[in-house]
Amino acid sequence: MENKKKMHAAITAVGMFVPDKVLDNAYFEKIVDTSDEWIRTRTGIQERRMLENGATSDLATGAAKDLLTTYKINPEEIEVIIVATVTPDMFFPATACLVQDNIGAKNAWGFDMNAACSSFLFALQTGSGLIESGRYKKVLVIGADKMTSITDYNDRNNCILFGDAGAAVLLEPTTDLKYGFQDSLLKVDGSGRESLYMKGGGSLNPSSHETVDKNMHVIYQDGKVVFKAAVKGMADISYDLMEKNNLKGDDIAYLVPHQANLRIIDATAKRMGVGREKVMINIQKYGNTTSATIPLCLVEYYRDGKVKKGDKLILAAFGAGYTWGATYLVWSMD
């Protein structure tokens, strides 16, 4: 690990927002041909949340407000807002603009980041770079997705997987290089684009009666192909990042994996030599919330007193694109 940086980006505040409405597995038994038993054993999911009224900016704003009020931070101090999402309220303006207005961050600029299920890791790398440049002191990184807005509730392969949530972290500089963002490996491979994507609504297939009739505005996924690619991608890159930083399984306090399927999580942990007790898991409560899964885990485990200052964490994700990556950070909050 090259430690030439003068400062690291450290997480100094966290927040989250999940909508109240719960969709349990029994709900899906009523609408498609499935069973609670199948969903639990094949995915690990028991419940997920649905935002009934509102959009992704509301999930992101909820998380940002939770962070700002919990830590009594004046929104005018926020300099940059990055919203990681695949379900922006609109093509434009960016969801970050809507969040900026909602929270009164009068002095911020910002943008959205779309790397599918890896969006939060890509945003965290970008936000950390802005901090390390020395130019910014408060960067808000939010992962938020209203996945229920692009889920086909007639497709039993996919509808059981996804839910809505938002979670946020604040990045600030630390000159104590033991803490904060240490390293990351990130990748894209667009040859995987047709295994997991939304076919319609973009410039390739603009919205029309035909795209609606052909059901092109929902998630399309070849689950088996993505499953295999995700296991290999997440496990390999986490292993490579650990090797690069001379880390063994025992050095790691937690693996923080993207929550897409409990079997993918278990396979990644096994490859890294990390036991289940050292893996952050909340997929049973929320399903796959895409950009929100990793920060949501961080917030919940921290608030439960399970993450301590100095803990070494490996964050890992895999998603559409393909996109994937792993991030090594040392927890910096008391």
| CB of 141 closer than 8 Å to CB of 291 | no
117 catalytically annotated: yes
- Cβ at position 323, least distance to ligand COA in Å: 9
CB of 43 to ligand COA, least distance (A): 5
Verify binding: residue 38, ligand COA, rule CB under 6 A.
Answer: yes
DSSP summary character for residue 116:
T
Query: How would you label 243-272 residue by residue, b for 16+ Cβ within 10 Å and e otherwise?
Result: eeeebebeebbbbbbbbbbbebbbbbbebb
151 versus 184: smaller Cβ distance to ligand COA: 151
Q: Which of 5, 40, 42, 199 binds ligand COA (CB under 6 A)?
A: 42
151 near ligand COA (CB under 6 A): no
Q: Tally Cβ neighbours within 10 Å of residue 197.
A: 16
Distance, in Å, from the CA atom of 210 to the CA atom of 128, rounded to the nearest integer, reads: 43
Which residues inside 242-271 make contact with ligand COA, applying CB under 6 A?
A: 260-261, 264
Q: Taking CB under 6 A as the rule, does residue 129 contact ligand COA?
A: no
| Smaller CB separation from ligand COA, 226 or 326 | 226
CB of 124 to ligand COA, least distance (A): 17
Decide: is 187 part of the binding site for ligand COA (CB under 6 A). no
CB nearer to ligand COA: give 131 or 294.
294
With CB under 6 A as the contact rule, which of the stretches 139-147, 222-230, 241-249, 269-277 interacts with ligand COA?
222-230
Q: In one letter, which amino acid is 87?
A: T
157 included as an active-site residue: no
Shortest reach from residue 118's CB to ligand COA, in Å: 9
Does 258 participate in catalysis according to the annotation? yes
Alpha helices by DSSP H, the chain: 25-31, 36-43, 56-70, 95-103, 119-132, 156-159, 209-213, 223-244, 262-272, 283-286, 293-303
The rounded distance, in Å, linking the Cα atoms of 238 and 230 is 12
Cβ(143)–Cβ(294) under 8 Å? yes
Site for ligand COA in 266-325 (CB under 6 A): 288, 318-319
**CA-wise closest residue to 225 among 268, 194, 252:** 194
> What amino acid positions are annotated as catalytic residues?
117, 258, 288
Contact set with ligand COA (CB under 6 A):
34, 38-39, 42-43, 117, 156-157, 160, 196, 221, 223-224, 226-227, 230, 260-261, 264, 288, 318-319
